Amino acid sequence: MSEKLIILHALGIMKKIINALISHSGKNFCVQSDSVAGCYATAKTAEQAKQEFIQAVDFYLDTLSVDGEQLPFEKGDYTMEFSYTTEALSFFF
């Protein structure tokens, strides 16, 4: 758990933690998470893929809200923790 999340937890502020995995396939980085099934992002760089994934999660929450579905967590009430596959890391070096 990151230092920021430990402080938020100590203050009684709970945020949903979304663990997302960054992989590399072909010429693009891909991001996905079991916490948000059906949300994926792909881009030329890992940073772009991260931003696209955050937008995909926000769009998913907006869609659930419009459809009157129960939200698994509130928009903005989550934090992302990204990890990389070994293959994805190899493209940084």
Q: Which residue has the higher pLDDT, 40 or 67?
A: 40
User: What are the DSSP calls for 22-45, one per residue?
Assistant: EEEETTEEEEE-GGGTT-EEEESS
The percent of residues above 70 in pLDDT, for the chain, comes to 83
- What value does the mean pLDDT of the chain take? 84
* pLDDT number for residue 74: 74
Residue written as tokens 């992302």?
80
Q: What does the pLDDT average to over 16-43? A: 92
Model confidence at 83: pLDDT above 90: yes
Confidence of residue 63 (pLDDT cuts 50, 70, 90): confident
Confidence of residue 8 (pLDDT cuts 50, 70, 90): low
Judge whether 30 and 91 are in contact, CB under 8 Å. no
Domain covering 16-90: architecture: 2-Layer Sandwich (3.30)
